[in-house]
């Protein structure tokens, strides 16, 4: 099979972003259900499995924010007919998924006595640093692409007005 035929079968970059934003929204909604159940059943098995509920709330809010940003950029790219580079899609996707995931993983770790252990899990700084960096780079690049396209669209000559054919 030729490489071009494989690329031709893939969804458009905007369709990928819209699908990915929908996935992020679905994760945020699933976390909302978990939070709701643990709120009404604080002594249940699910509540005991989540010792750091505040970090799960952070993950929920972060997934919601990432979903709306990805939706926004997908629609801006569609509006201005922008074909974002693959590296922008990778940076946005990796960062938008893993940034909130770091909080979700922290939510599942038992609370430790700060006097005996360091307050940050070993995986958190590396994971957070990589995902924060990729999120920042991806969203800033997407913003620059959209702003540049909007600027150029504003500089284009306006279409000639259509004469009014209705006489009154």
Q: What value does the mean pLDDT take over residues 35-44? A: 91
Question: 12-111+123-152: what fold?
Answer: 1.20.120
Residue-range domain boundaries for the chain: 12-111+123-152
- For 7-16, which contacts have Cβ atoms below 8 Å and span 24 or more sequence positions? 13/77, 13/83, 13/84, 13/86, 13/89, 14/74, 14/77, 14/78, 16/89
Please, what is the average pLDDT of the chain? 86
Compare 69 and 162 and report the one with higher pLDDT. Answer: 69
Compare 56 and 7 and report the one with higher pLDDT. Answer: 56
- Which pLDDT belongs to residue 118? 60
- Which pLDDT belongs to residue 157? 73
Q: What value does the mean pLDDT take over residues 106-113? A: 78
- Which pLDDT belongs to residue 126? 80
pLDDT above 60: residue 167: no
Q: What value does the mean pLDDT take over residues 152-167? A: 70
């Amino acid at each position: 099979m030729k490489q071009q035929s494989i690329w031709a079968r893939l969804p458009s970059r905007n369709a990928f972003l819209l699908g990915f934003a929908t996935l992020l929204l679905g994760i945020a909604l699933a976390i909302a259900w978990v939070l709701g159940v643990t709120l009404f059943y604080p002594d249940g098995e699910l509540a005991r499995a989540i010792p750091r509920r505040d970090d799960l709330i952070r993950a929920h809010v972060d997934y919601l924010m990432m979903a709306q940003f990805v939706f926004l950029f997908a629609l801006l790219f569609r509006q201005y007919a922008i074909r974002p580079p693959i590296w922008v899609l990778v940076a946005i996707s990796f960062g938008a998924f893993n940034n909130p995931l770091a909080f979700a993983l922290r939510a599942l770790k038992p609370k430790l006595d700060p006097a005996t252990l360091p307050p940050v899990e070993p995986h958190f700084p590396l994971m957070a640093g990589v995902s924060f960096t990729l999120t920042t780079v991806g969203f800033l690049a997407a913003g620059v692409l959209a702003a540049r396209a909007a600027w150029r669209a504003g500089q284009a000559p306006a279409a000639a007005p259509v004469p009014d054919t209705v006489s009154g």
